[in-house]
Structure 1
Amino acid sequence: MNKTQLHKIAEDYFDHQGWEAFPFQKKTWDAFLAGKHGLLNAPTGSGKTYALWVAVILDYIKKHPDYKKKPKKGLKAIWITPLRSLSQEIAQASQRFVDGIDLPFTVGIRSGDTSTKERTAQRKSMPDLLITTPESLHLLLGSKDHAKIFKDCQAIIIDEWHELLGTKRGVQMELGISRLLGLSKNIRVWGISATIGNLEQAREVLLGVDENRFRESVLIKANIKKDIKVQSIIPASMDKFPWRGHLGLHLLEDVVKIINSSRSTLIFTNTRAQCELWFQSLMTKHPEFAGEVAMHHGSINKETRIWVENAIRNESLKACVCTSSLDLGVDFAPVETIIQVGGPKGVARFLQRAGRSGHRPGETSVIHFLPTHALELIEASALQKAVATQAVEDRLPYILCYDVLIQYLCTLAVSGGFYPDEIFPEVKNTFCFAAITDEEWKWCLDFIVYGSSSLQSYDEYKKVKIDDTGRYLIDDRKIAMRHRLQMGTIVGATLVTVKYQSGGYIGSVEEYFISKMDRGDVFIFAGRTLEFIRLKGMIAHVKNTTKKTNTVSSWQGSRLPLSAQLGELLRDEMENFQTGKKRTPEVKALKEIIQRQQLESIVPQKSEFLIETFKTREGYHAVFYPFEGRFVHEAMAGIIAYRVSLLKPITFSLAFNDYGFEILSDQAFDMQEILDNDLLTPEMLSQDLQASMNATEMARRQFRDIAVISGLVFTGYPNKAVKTKHLQNSSQLLFEVFRDNEPDNLLFRQAYTETFEQAIQEYRLREALERIQEQEIIWKACEKPTPFSFPIITDRLREKLSSEKLADRIKRMQLKWE
């Protein structure tokens, strides 16, 4: 069959559905038929499934013109999705197409939710298309007959590649792709990505460093214009001193008006705790919404989540309060309106959420921005500019993740063994491990056999054996089972299952939260008010209660940092608010606050760096405004406090938010001396970070995840998880052993690298300090706190006070300062 005849098969199906193929879909079909690898850049809901699955089918028909008679059995393509919730959508669309052209192909799903019976059936007879996750792919690679399963596979398609890039799951995929390319020479590698800043690099990471493969690849852009309308929800009266801590709930009635005027609404929050609070407030103040408003986040049980997704799809819900669990993929055509509560902290995340509304090509997406404090209106304005210019963030790939490599080598050893000389070239061809040296490779091999030099006396770390032929394999059933149970790179806190005493699974919360509970304590979770009865093993037994409580289940590490891209847009936007030339609703709403800020201090222009100092009953405050996000500000505050302490013995308490940071002391300190001594410099940055941030303690915490991924510590069996405290103790002990006896241990070194690159974001801190050196530093000695400093001060108070006491304290502060 020629290209025209093949296209006609697909186009006839499209005509029958009342569709017309997009140019990007046809380009993808042609590139795949020509044997090319590639990356498809297409927004959610634009028909990307049909771009690649149709390509795979047309390629099969080209090679088997008698395709309707008796198709060849076996796996033809693997579709990787980072979220299990996307699997059903992809499976339904894929099955509809093959059924529509009378091709007797089967589509199967394999994930953590797949039953043992179904997995066994798949092993005996693989579907033609297998939709799976990175973790399930590696479990298949760890099976004895994996070479046979994949030998005739023609394509691996990685969906939402931008979500995997810049994570250890992405590294896991790089290694998985390298093995599949080794098993099947004809396999084609394709990724699908929404817009990110570094698309070309995303393609390079996907395909590895093989120049021939990269030359034979294409980058196809969908070029579908998406109109996004951003509307700020502006309160009737603006506090002159904006503050944080109420999570935007003072605008609840404005949200209710939007819900009532829309067919369906998604309310996006940045954290699961915020999601719970918003849902609870809506239910308390508007009981008439019962059954019409739901909640969706990753810790709620699977059945409830699926019910919510289907209810949105069939329009039986008016609104859903959710987190990033609904950012991606699930196709909700009817959603009319999106509300974003608080700054989304990233342009790409905001665009993704906006795209959930008008989730069809050609439709306008409407997103309402709800500020949790007044200054977030500047963020809203910056986001409008980002939407207009499509200025999105880069996703930076990980380099040399030895823990993921060690886990992968054990996976191959479990699958019947591997020969290092065969696997090393494959590993070396990945982007992550392109720079690995022969010595580092040998260290990883020795580690899985002997457990590193300082652990050689302990048999539990000796997992892999070498047979007479030089093959590395795991032949111990217990070691193999433990490895399979712990496969994956997502290391969260230990989860406790929440169940009713009478039976019935509600969801899971983190162990640290539930461990603080006493019998009879009441907390809010999954939209229910629950009374804690007992913790038995890793199961928390609860019952429904009518008692009142302010305790909402919370999760650690859920605060999102401001992205570098959005920080830059914020600094640009500040100028428009200062001059007042822009006539937007946001500028008008903030007019009084900006005037008050200019009266007390200044609104910094892009070329200026503002420092404010003032004295209160609490002590001497210095507030700095880099607009770089809380992670960078936390590190910068620590460095400046440390450098000041070198000039004179002094102690500080620190506070920070996404816009700036505060150093507070009970002793007076001379800001001019700080400026004269050039303390805002990138010189000696690494050494000062080590001293100021207690990098060893941070690396020790980071090492826990590395120890779990590399298999140094075991997290436990199903329903018998090892407690977080024990995991932490075991990993800390190993960290100290390596620090004292084996400082060149690659996993020990990796803990420090990750601390500086991911936790502290040293590269962004360095760039920020370099930028500050180019700016004019303006120091304003103020009489009292300014509108800009107010949210930072209250952020610090929030850590110490209950919400009621905080609200009272802030009211007193406002009255005093006004």
Structure 2
Amino acid sequence: MGTSPDFARHWFTARGWKPFVFQKQVWAAIKNGQSGLLHASTGAGKTYAVWFGALDRFARSTPPDDKPRKRKPLAEPLTVLWITPMRALAADTARALEAPLHDLQIRWSIGLRTGDTSSSERARQSRRLPSALITTPESLTLMLARADAFTALSTLRMVVVDEWHELLGNKRGVQLQLALARLRRWHPGLIVWGVSATLGNQAHAEQVLIPQGGGISVQGQTSKALQVDTLLPPALERFPWAGHIGLKMLPAVVAELESSPGSLVFTNTRAQSEIWFLALLEARPDWAGLIALHHSSLSRDTRDWVERALKDGQLKAVVCTSSLDLGVDFLPVERVLQIGSAKGVARLMQRAGRSGHAPGRVSRVTLVPTHSLELIEAAAAQDAVAQGRIEPRESPHKPLDVLVQHLVSMALGGGFLPDELYDEVRRAWAYRDLTPQDWTWALAFVRHGGLSLTAYPDYRRVEPDEYGVWRVPDARLARRHRMGIGTIVSDASIQLKFWSKGGGGKQLGSVEEGFIARLKPGDGFLFAGRLLELVRVENMTAYVKRSATKKAAVPRWNGGRMPLSSELAHAVVARFSAADQGTFIGPEMQALRPLLEVQKRWSGLPTETCLLAEVLKSREGWHLFLYPFAGRQVHLGLASLLAWRISQRLPVTFSIAVNDYGLELLSATCVDWSTHLDPQLLSPDALLKDVLASLNAGELALRRFREIARIAGLVFAGYPGAPKSTRQVQASSGLFFEVFKQYDAGNLLLAQAGEEVLREELDIHRLEQTLARLNRLQLDLHSVKRPTPLGFPLLVERMRESMSSEKLADRIRRMVSDLEKTAETGKA
């Protein structure tokens, strides 16, 4: 073995590169055995900062041997685990890590271990793991669930968690925290590094990743240029409504794509990406084969082809969703277009970083508003990016479904002693205050299913042996558990395949089961940029053929609506405040000025010191429009809360509509809002009790419990090739929910479902903050004669629930025509 040279310096010098200060800081820290968090913008050189730190500390150069060898010498044993949040990133990361090894004569091997890894490759890895293994949190837990895990990972020295910001705030991150706690117990000197971009709370991110302390935080190059601009619409709608997809901007988008050799067109939903991809092809048929579609419901083969073609410079543009948010390195991409508001500063910066993905290159994102009010979000986003106001991400607190799954996994991975494992689990940040009572409940739950499932053998998953070591005694239950490891609970989906009389048609991807259930054979729909016709549904597979119809439905997937973030909302209100003072800085605000002038003339503008409210009498009844600017989720909870609280004072019922800017309460009888919209109504006092009373909390909790039941292993989704239907899974989880409520009311998974409803569905913390903020504002209440530009979108939201899209569009056209005529007259 040779000596340990300065690999980083040699390799960078050979390429004429000069390392950044932050890269040298990371190299020095790793050489000294320190763990840490590297925070740097996308494309700034984060990967090589951490990778060369690992090589400099652990690798050795091996000069070529002149003597011919019968066998190729073995690579060094497993030294580095590289955790990636997405399987799609693994191959790209492997190429980046392999690049220096041959040049520097380092006898290390690189391997991948994800859900896409072939069985033959897994078998090879079972015999000998590569020097650096790129894997996902789920695959790492599967490795830990092997009886030989301790031996297989005995040579591990370092763990790198890539894109840590994507894991920090969810249960996948908690699963990884538990895995790291185990690895640290096995290897007390383990070096752990997180690599992240677009984080608003770096101290918390570091604390969660390195809970024992002693880590170092390194801030990357901050001078990477980020350009945010906006495509202005040719004509401004003074009465905008959310929901149309902004296809009026199609000619402008085509012109932008024409001028760039490689672009990404981001949309916020899969349905939106389908519509835009087809629209671009219809506008430019000559681009067939030069533009592509990428979203998570397309087949893996399709996505892989798109990613390869984009990297190779074969594609002019790709219409995509968050499926391409993360660090796949697409050097040919020069432009990013964002259709509609990104709704968050971090998301916008992450997507912008897909262009100019190399140190020194400018990252440019162009915002394409889908309605007029998104112009103010575009201007506000520019402000927030310039000020570095990035959303924080918080680790979940003590999710017991993840803990229960982990207990069974560790019982498979050689077994555990309860006291020893309790100490280990509490070293994971999410479980730092796990009580002995919580632990006792979790052990009982995996041993016999708790109070209500004791009689059922399938829930006796873990038993102590004669030595007190807890193991999984049943091979069938062990197999089932390994198949269900992970915290990603996918949407209820059904596979799509082309119809073939002989069977075996090409797989296209998946759509929600509920969408297919609404179609009859012969109905057309849009998927993967194609017009398709449903042939038949069989065994959780929908068979389709190409359709000649021009009228087609668009699949809807869950998770389509992203709420406006707090940081972006604050920036939006600041822009409204400036407009109230007559300041319209930037082309977006100048274009929006006619709308804002009508809003101010007919009512007022929301500001940082006033809460704008409008009261309107129409043929439908009495409307209250309120504009807290707290995002759709919070407004739903707030509207329900206000409706419930006012109903305690008056015999009145309400219809509710919400969007990211505000809420509407519609009643059949008059309410004197000047009297009732008081500090008591908006008080955060007794918030939890009142929110639970105002909502169908039981139904919301049942929905959350379905996911919890899957993660905790209560519900089995079926074997490969024979999945259970969504209806079966939902019925099973619903049955457990009712059984626990009736016979095991203290079951901690029930309590977790209620907590997750408040935290994730209603964002109770932000709702509490919003009420406190609203109480500090001065009420600016206006009685208006007609819907204002801010109130009109809320009217449309409510009408959408009760009208077909065709009737709704006709009704909106008539309403807009009337409002525009009135606005032209200059009336107040």
TM-score normalized with structure 1 length = 0.97
Aligned to 2:69: none
Q: Secondary structure at the match of 1:519?
A: coil
Contact 2:614 2:782 in 1 (8 A): yes
CA distance in 2, matches of 1:801, 1:263: 43
Aligned to 2:398: 400
| 1:466-485 mapped onto 2 (5 Å cutoff) | 466-485=464-483
Aligned to 2:784: 782
Q: Secondary structure at the match of 1:524?
A: strand
Q: Report the more deviating stretch, 606-615 or 359-368.
A: 359-368
Aligned to 1:608: 610
Contact 1:68 1:104 in 2 (8 A): no
Instruction: In structure 1, list runs of 5 or more residues that go unmatched.
Output: none
Aligned to 1:340: 338
Q: Report the more deviating stretch, 607-616 or 508-517.
A: 508-517
CA distance in 2, matches of 1:726, 1:65: 57
CA distance in 2, matches of 1:178, 1:67: 38
Identify if the C-alpha distance between structure 1 residues 71 and 541 changes in structure 2 by more than 3 Å, giving closer, same or farther. closer
Aligned residue identity for 2:705? F
String of CA shifts for 1:461-508, please: whole Å, max 9, x gaps: 111111111111002111001001111001122321111112111111
| 1:200-599 mapped onto 2 (5 Å cutoff) | 200-208=203-211, 210=212, 214-215=213-214, 217-502=215-500, 503-599=505-601
Aligned residue identity for 1:81? T
String of CA shifts for 1:385-418, please: whole Å, max 9, x gaps: 0111111010011111110011011001122311
Instruction: In structure 2, list runs of 5 or more residues that go unmatched.
Output: 66-72, 823-828
String of CA shifts for 1:250-291, please: whole Å, max 9, x gaps: 111110111111112211100101111111112223322211
CA distance in 2, matches of 1:370, 1:286: 19
String of CA shifts for 1:280-323, please: whole Å, max 9, x gaps: 11222332221111111011111111111122222221111110
CA distance in 2, matches of 1:226, 1:96: 24
CA distance in 1, matches of 2:575, 2:713: 48
Q: Report the more deviating stretch, 78-87 or 241-250.
A: 241-250
String of CA shifts for 1:127-160, please: whole Å, max 9, x gaps: 0000000000011001111001111100111000
Contact 1:245 1:803 in 2 (8 A): no
CA distance in 1, matches of 2:719, 2:168: 30
Aligned residue identity for 1:459? P
Q: Report the more deviating stretch, 453-462 or 608-617.
A: 453-462
CA distance in 2, matches of 1:128, 1:68: 19
Aligned to 2:125: 122
CA distance in 1, matches of 2:818, 2:781: 24
- Among 714, 724, 737, the alignment partner of 2:716 is 714
| 1:746-765 mapped onto 2 (5 Å cutoff) | 746-765=748-767
- Among 791, 794, 797, the alignment partner of 1:792 is 794
Q: Percent identity of the aligned residues?
A: 43
Q: CA deviation at 1:795?
A: 2.1
Aligned to 1:661: 663
CA distance in 2, matches of 1:578, 1:234: 22
CA distance in 2, matches of 1:328, 1:674: 48
| 1:8-19 mapped onto 2 (5 Å cutoff) | 8-19=6-17
Aligned to 1:164: 167
String of CA shifts for 1:588-623, please: whole Å, max 9, x gaps: 111111110111000121000011010222221111
Q: CA deviation at 1:442?
A: 1.2
Q: Report the more deviating stretch, 672-681 or 173-182.
A: 672-681
| 1:101 maps onto 2:135 in alignment | no
Q: Secondary structure at the match of 2:684?
A: coil
Q: Report the more deviating stretch, 283-292 or 671-680.
A: 671-680
Contact 2:311 2:329 in 1 (8 A): yes
Q: CA deviation at 1:652?
A: 1.2
Identify if the C-alpha distance between structure 1 residues 155 and 224 changes in structure 2 by more than 3 Å, giving closer, same or farther. same
Q: CA deviation at 1:66?
A: 6.5
Contact 1:338 1:367 in 2 (8 A): yes
| 1:30-49 mapped onto 2 (5 Å cutoff) | 30-49=28-47
Q: CA deviation at 1:6?
A: 5.3
Contact 1:416 1:474 in 2 (8 A): no
Contact 1:150 1:184 in 2 (8 A): no
- Among 801, 804, 807, the alignment partner of 2:806 is 804
Q: Secondary structure at the match of 2:430?
A: coil
Aligned residue identity for 1:712? L
Runs of 4+ in 1 over 6 A off after TM superposition: 65-72
String of CA shifts for 1:720-753, please: whole Å, max 9, x gaps: 2222222222112211222222222111111111
- Among 180, 186, 191, the alignment partner of 2:189 is 186
Aligned residue identity for 1:260? E
CA distance in 1, matches of 2:360, 2:106: 31
Contact 2:75 2:108 in 1 (8 A): no
Identify if the C-alpha distance between structure 1 residues 688 and 658 changes in structure 2 by more than 3 Å, giving closer, same or farther. same
CA distance in 2, matches of 1:317, 1:628: 39
Identify if the C-alpha distance between structure 1 residues 246 and 465 changes in structure 2 by more than 3 Å, giving closer, same or farther. same
Contact 2:679 2:775 in 1 (8 A): no
CA distance in 2, matches of 1:792, 1:657: 7
CA distance in 1, matches of 2:664, 2:336: 34
String of CA shifts for 1:215-272, please: whole Å, max 9, x gaps: 2x21111133122222211112111211122111111111011111111221110010
Q: Secondary structure at the match of 2:648?
A: helix
Q: CA deviation at 1:16?
A: 2.3
Q: CA deviation at 1:755?
A: 0.7
Aligned to 2:731: 729
Aligned residue identity for 1:332? F
Aligned residue identity for 1:250? K
Aligned residue identity for 1:621? H
Q: Secondary structure at the match of 2:51?
A: helix
Aligned to 1:693: 695
Q: Report the more deviating stretch, 730-739 or 435-444.
A: 730-739
Q: Secondary structure at the match of 1:535?
A: strand
CA distance in 2, matches of 1:65, 1:116: 32
Aligned residue identity for 2:807? K
Contact 2:578 2:584 in 1 (8 A): yes
Aligned to 1:634: 636
| 1:78 maps onto 2:81 in alignment | yes
Contact 1:533 1:540 in 2 (8 A): yes
Aligned residue identity for 1:145? D
Contact 1:494 1:721 in 2 (8 A): no
CA distance in 2, matches of 1:67, 1:453: 65
CA distance in 1, matches of 2:204, 2:477: 38
Q: Report the more deviating stretch, 310-319 or 574-583.
A: 574-583
Q: Report the more deviating stretch, 40-49 or 261-270.
A: 40-49
Identify if the C-alpha distance between structure 1 residues 757 and 315 changes in structure 2 by more than 3 Å, giving closer, same or farther. same
Contact 1:224 1:361 in 2 (8 A): no
Aligned residue identity for 1:650? V
Q: Secondary structure at the match of 2:644?
A: helix
Q: CA RMSD in A?
A: 1.7
Aligned residue identity for 1:88? A
String of CA shifts for 1:555-606, please: whole Å, max 9, x gaps: 0232111111111111112112222323311111111111101110001210
Identify if the C-alpha distance between structure 1 residues 737 and 665 changes in structure 2 by more than 3 Å, giving closer, same or farther. same
**Equivalent pairs, count:** 809
